[in-house]
Homo-oligomer: A and B are copies of this chain.
């Protein structure tokens, strides 16, 4: 027996040793989908981000993207397990830029930064604590790296310097060298995963955008909201009654402000913080009738909730055994990795909300902050750690709540405070309690690197200028929303800009075909509908060194590298949006290479240059790429119904011919997943006569077709070379 133990122990030791160092030649990257490579380091944990999100790759779409070469020199990658932790290292070129690591609010360029990726509210610092701290980055060299771990990962994104570096920084003497730097050059991204192994993915290019697309498609493709999700939404005061809500909707109708859904805040529940998930009998005596009434008016209901179960909730006794050791606001935390907890919680949501017509949720406080949420010392009955639950709770609630609607073949579109990698396909938009307009736009910029959506929601404003400026940006975002839960503001609350606000809301509705197609591209091709300039081909710079010597006025790309461009972004296929903030009368805009045209007038704006615009208070600067096509519809007050034909007014900009694929389906169900959708080809070409002409392909037989009459608008009449 002794002998046997000895042998077994030796064998175990041997195995441990093998796990400890994994020499690079022993690495085996498998192409798990076209252009997507996977490797397992050590013993990856059973639970990870992709498991939580229950995502599955869209292999057909990945195949359409084609294959590409493994984008890195494998011998420069170091992956090993030591002392129970996983050490990862990926190389960086001297001029390489990196982006991503989730929903950052102040920074776009991530090279040189140090983070601990940790789901949390945004605490006014980009340090890895954010609503969606994805362990995913993309490189200007055209590849992406994803660490599929539900752990708090330490990231040194080109800041750590190794003694054995092949590209070491120079030694300087601080006493006398003027070039001495506190942050010497680093040639690698290094990460520390507090687990004995991890699953890793590399996404190929050749462009950075391709890597992003592959990442999104690998997660199942981006979400496709219902059409009504892209209309306007108002969140009402937290203590509104059914009658108050009906009155509010009527006011929108009377004043002719678009409105597609209303958000009810905590007061719809009998108790909140912690929650009962039950309607308050006083404020909402007949919820089902109320919702039906509202639906008849074309207005859907979205319900705020957090998931901390009040001891006074009817489900409490049943769900208690399947909740964590610690409470949040004295409410129990469902262990949503357990089928029992899911069944009890979502069963309640189905019977009391979804089955009586509720259209979606705003799922609050699944992010942080530490003083409110369950602590890291909490345990959960499934055995998942508090850390794993923190990193994935946003994914779990998104996926599981979406499934309630999926069961009814009904799309939803909601709000959530936390997400992570794997969630691209989940129809939720992230929001938070911060209210820096600038940071909100930077988050919109970064959302495109992360496969998440973000809304720069409007709440209250000190001035009508601020109100309008904020309103303009939210209309060029994934969710056009006023969140008046506390302020009770309305779109018309500032009378001197009420008409301009209405015009913006109407523009949002007019552009619905464009937005809807942008989301279809997100779903079918993985292209983020809202994204950073850095993903735009003509925007990229070849060499960082150029930057240091170039004059920024002559070469705006230098500016783009030296100073982060975090206040302008791409929206859909063709639009560049450059918002103004309170106090600004004019601003500079960096136009990528290629010609750009003013969205409102069609006039030439510039080509690969830094321009200054002074748009006036009622305009948000928007530019269209040469050859851009923007399909518009009439400004309805509600999104069109599934069978409703809608006239199109198709705009063309610039001097290049235009080609565009317009997406169409019923706008409400998941039938598009069974092929019930169509792409109509729109062509705009110049005739021999010099006149522009537009054509749209015929509707496909047996496929959805909501297009009514088509008119054409050639915006750029004065075509110049």
**Which B residues touch A170, using CB under 8 A?**
330
Most chain B beta-carbon neighbours within 10 Å: one of A1, A238, A273, A383? A273
Say whether B191 contacts A194, CB under 8 Å.
no
Given A4-B4, A114-B371, A156-B375, is A325 in contact with B162 using a C-beta cutoff of 8 Å? yes
Task: Name the contact of A266 in the complex, choosing from B175, B184, B272 (C-beta under 8 A).
Answer: B175
Instruction: Say whether A586 faces chain B, with CB atoms less than 8 Å apart.
Output: no
Say whether B1 contacts A169, CB under 8 Å.
no
**Which B residues touch A272, using CB under 8 A?**
173-175
Instruction: Say whether A192 faces chain B, with CB atoms less than 8 Å apart.
Output: yes
Which B residue sits closest to A268, measured CB to CB?
B175
Given A114-B371, A159-B371, A174-B273, is A329 in contact with B1 using a C-beta cutoff of 8 Å? no
Say whether B182 contacts A372, CB under 8 Å.
yes
* Interface segment out of the listed A65-73, A83-91, A453-461: A83-91
Give the interface size class of chain A: 35 or more
Instruction: Say whether A183 faces chain B, with CB atoms less than 8 Å apart.
Output: yes
Chain A, range 310-351, C-beta contacts under 8 Å to B: 310-312, 320, 323-327, 329-332
Instruction: Say whether A378 faces chain B, with CB atoms less than 8 Å apart.
Output: yes
**Which B residues touch A379, using CB under 8 A?**
82, 87
Distance from A6 Cβ to chain B, minimum over Cβ atoms (Å)? 11
**Which B residues touch A507, using CB under 8 A?**
none
**Which B residues touch A500, using CB under 8 A?**
none
Say whether B173 contacts A273, CB under 8 Å.
yes
- Please measure, in the bound complex, the distance between the C-alpha atom of A161 and the C-alpha atom of B371, giving whole angstroms: 10
**Which B residues touch A4, using CB under 8 A?**
1, 4-5, 8
Task: Name the contact of A174 in the complex, choosing from B180, B266, B375 (C-beta under 8 A).
Answer: B266
* Copies held by the complex: 2
Instruction: Say whether A673 faces chain B, with CB atoms less than 8 Å apart.
Output: no
Say whether A154 contacts B330, CB under 8 Å.
no
Distance from A244 Cβ to chain B, minimum over Cβ atoms (Å)? 14
**Which B residues touch A311, using CB under 8 A?**
171
Say whether A163 contacts B239, CB under 8 Å.
no
Task: Name the contact of A163 in the complex, choosing from B192, B325, B385 (C-beta under 8 A).
Answer: B325
Distance from A22 Cβ to chain B, minimum over Cβ atoms (Å)? 14
Instruction: Say whether A287 faces chain B, with CB atoms less than 8 Å apart.
Output: no
A155-187 vs B, CB cutoff 8 Å, 1 = contact: the mask equals 010011111100011111111000010111000
A372-395 vs B, CB cutoff 8 Å, 1 = contact: the mask equals 101111110001010000000000
Say whether B163 contacts A326, CB under 8 Å.
yes
Say whether B274 contacts A171, CB under 8 Å.
yes
**Which B residues touch A172, using CB under 8 A?**
273, 329-330
Chain A, range 218-263, C-beta contacts under 8 Å to B: 238-239
Say whether A160 contacts B330, CB under 8 Å.
no
Say whether B173 contacts A330, CB under 8 Å.
no
A345-376 vs B, CB cutoff 8 Å, 1 = contact: the mask equals 00000000000000000000000001110111
Say whether A330 contacts B171, CB under 8 Å.
yes
**Which B residues touch A502, using CB under 8 A?**
none
Q: For the A-B complex with A83-B385, A160-B375 known, give 12 more contacts whose Cβ atoms are closer than 8 Å.
A: A4-B5, A4-B8, A87-B379, A114-B370, A114-B375, A163-B320, A163-B325, A164-B325, A174-B266, A174-B273, A175-B239, A194-B194
Ranked 3 nearest A-B pairs via Cβ = A174-B273, A160-B375, A173-B271
Give the interface of A toward B (CB within 8 A). Answer: 1, 4-5, 8, 82-85, 87, 89, 114, 154, 156, 159-164, 168-175, 180, 182-184, 190-192, 194, 238-239, 266-267, 269, 271-274, 280, 310-312, 320, 323-327, 329-332, 370-372, 374-379, 383, 385
